[in-house]
Chain A
C-alpha cells in the first residue's frame, strides 16, 4: 500500500510539473497584448512590461515563474492591475467551493437514490422515469438548463432571484443546474452497477440465508454496487468544476469559474495560468484522494497492488 501511494504521489507531482510547463509556454503563444489600450503609451507599456518581467528572456521568465510557484505564489494579475492572482483566488474560492460542495452533495444523494430505485424497479414506471431523467440530464447542456431555470423561476414565476449568490434562496437554481449532469451520470452508473450484481453469488447466499429484502439491498447490493461508483467520483468532480464556468457566468456568481471566463476574454495571461494550475492541482489532489479511498475500502486493491 505504501509503495502504491508513493508511486501515485510521484506521478501526480510529475503531472503537475508538465501541466505548469505546458500551460506556461502555451499562453506565451497567445496573440494579442494584455497591455494594449488606447491610453497606454509606449513608455507606459515598457514600464508595465518591466513590472511584469515580460522584458526578460522567455527561459528566465519560466524559471522565475516556476520558482515562485514552488513558494505558492501565482504572480500578479494583468487585467485586474495591482491585484495578486493569489488574492483573487482567495476571494473567489469560497463561493465556488460552496456551490461545488452543495452540487456534489445534491448530485450524489439524488444520483444514488435514482440509480438504486430504478434498479430495484427495473422495467417499471419508476425505472422509465429515471431513464428519462438521466437522458435529459445528460443531453441538455448546463447553460440551457441554467437559462431555462432563470426564465421559469426568476422571470416568469418571480419566486427565486435571477442572479447573485448571497442567501440560500439564490443558491437553489445554480446548485440544481450544476448538479443535474453529474446526478444523471451517477444515477446511470449506479443503476448499471446495481444490476450487474443482482445475480451475484453472495446475493443468492444472502437470500438463501433468509435475510429480508431490505437487508439484502442495503447491506449487500448497495454496498457492493458503490465500489465502482467511487472511481467515477474523480471525473464527477471535474464535471462540476468545468460546469461552474458556465453556471457562475450565467448566474453572476463571483467565483473562480466566472473569473476564469473573464480572464480568457481579457487575455489576462497570469490569471488564466494561475487558475488553470489551481484547477489542475485541485483535481489531481482530488483524484489522488479518491484513489486512496478506493484502496482503503476495497481489500482487493489493497492487497494486489501493495
Chain B
C-alpha cells in the first residue's frame, strides 16, 4: 500500500474539479411522480376539487353582497334561494359567505399545522435517526408518551391553556402532532443510513450536513409529502372537533366546525344548515384522502411501471 509515491497524487484545480462533477439535478423522479399521478383519475379529481375550493375560499365571500358576520334580524333562517344562495342562519348571516370564510380558516389551519408538523417531525426524526444512542432513546420515549394519549385529548388540554383562536389551534396541533412524522422520518433515516450510496458518500468524507441535505432529505421527501397530505385532513378534522366542543374558533369568526355545530343544533327545521357545511367538509376530506392515496402510489418505487 505504501508503495505509491507522493508525486503520483496531484491536486486538481478548481476548473478541473468542476468539470468532473457528476451530480445532476434530480428532476427525473418528480416528473415521473407527476406522470404517474396524472394517470390516477381519483387523485386528479381530488386536486381539481381542492383547487376549486381554495379559489372559492379566496373569492367566494366577495361574490355576494353580504359580509359573513353581518347580522340581519329581518332575514333570519332564509332557505337557500336566489337572495341567499346557501340561506341564512338564526342571526340572518349569509351562509355562503360564512362557508368560504370558514373554508379559509379550516384550510389555513390544516395546511399550516401540517407544514409545521412536517418541519418539527423531520428535524426531530432525523436527529434521532442520525445520532442514535441516548438522544434517540429520549426522543423515542417522548414520542411514546405523546402517542399513548390520543391527540385530540392533548390538543384539547392545550386549548384550555391557550387563548382560543387560529394561532393557538395551529400551535396546539404543532406541539402534539409531530410524533408520527418523527417516527416515520427516523425509520427512513435508519434505513437510508444502511444504503450503499450513503456509505459511499461517507467513505468519501461527506459531512453529516452534506449527508442530510444531499441524501436524506431528498429521499425523505416522498414519504413526508404523502404523510403531510393526511396530516392536513387530520388537522381540519381536529379544528372541527375543537370548534364543535367550543374550544376552537370562537364567534364572530367562523369555521367549518362552527358551522356544523350550528347545523346540528338547527337540523330539525333548517336542514340546509347541516347539509351544506357537512357536504363541503366531507368533500374536502375525501379529496385530500384521494390525493394522499394516489400520491403514495405515485411515489412508491415498487409500483413503478
List chain A positions with a Cβ less than 8 A from chain B.
11, 14-15, 18-19, 23, 26-27, 29-31, 135-136, 138-141, 143-144, 146-148, 150-151, 155, 238-239, 241-242, 245-246, 249-250, 261, 264-265, 267, 272, 276, 279-280, 283-284, 287
Contacts and interface: CB of A to CB of B under 8 A. Distances in A.
A23 B150 contact: no
25 contacts: A15-B145, A18-B145, A26-B158, A29-B161, A135-B290, A138-B285, A139-B233, A139-B288, A140-B286, A141-B240, A141-B281, A143-B240, A144-B282, A147-B263, A147-B274, A148-B274, A238-B150, A241-B150, A242-B150, A249-B244, A249-B245, A250-B264, A276-B153, A280-B153, A283-B149
Contacts of A141: 237, 240-241, 260, 281-282, 285
B247 A264 contact: yes
A242 B238 CA distance: 11
A135 B288 CA distance: 11
Contact of A139 (B144, B145, B289): B289
Interface residues of B, number: 38
A147 B278 contact: yes
Nearest to B144: A15
B156 A264 contact: yes
B161 A135 contact: no
Contact of A279 (B149, B158, B271): B149
A151 B161 contact: no
Interface string B249-279: 0000000000011011001100100100010
Interface in B89-115: none
Classify the secondary structure of A's interface with B: helix
Contacts of B260: 141, 143-144, 147
A143 B264 contact: yes
B185 to A, nearest CB: 19
Given A15-B145, A141-B282, A264-B156, A246 B241 contact: yes
B133 to A, nearest CB: 18
A274 to B, nearest CB: 13
Given A140-B282, A143-B240, A245-B245, 12 more contacts: A23-B157, A27-B160, A29-B161, A140-B285, A143-B244, A143-B260, A144-B260, A144-B281, A147-B260, A147-B264, A264-B247, A283-B150
A135 B148 contact: no
Interface in B56-71: none
Contact of A135 (B144, B240, B264, B289): B289
A242 B160 CA distance: 17
B132 interface: no
Nearest to B160: A30
Given A139-B233, A265-B246, A272-B160, A147 B267 contact: yes
B184 interface: no
A245 B161 contact: no
B157 A276 contact: yes
A26 B153 contact: no
Interface string B160-175: 1101000000000000
Contacts of B123: none
